[in-house]
Amino acid sequence: TDKMSNVFGNASTINYYGRIAKQVLEDSRHVMAKSINAAYDDEIVITSGGTESDNTAIKQTALARASEGRHIITTRFEHEA
């Protein structure tokens, strides 16, 4: 959106521009959560790219299923990240 093209702060900082970026990020998270009928906004995890997304998905799945074992099996056909 036009609003996003004018926001350049780091959402992890507490300065003026960071707070604006954080609000845009949280507003976007809310819109995404609502669009898929998520129960809570924090169910939406926003990452910086494909590798981080893949790693987050793998790690969170492993943690959630830790009681089932300590091995992850993959194939050579998976994303190279």
19: confidence class by pLDDT, cuts 50, 70, 90 = very high
Please compute the mean of the pLDDT values over residues 16-28 and round it to a whole number: 93
Q: What tens digit of pLDDT does each residue of 40-66 get?
A: 999 999 998 888 998 898 899 999 999
In the predicted structure, residue 1 carries a pLDDT above the cut 60: no
pTM of the model: 0.68
Residues contacting 79, CB < 8 A, separation 6+: 50, 54
Tokens representing 53? 């997304």
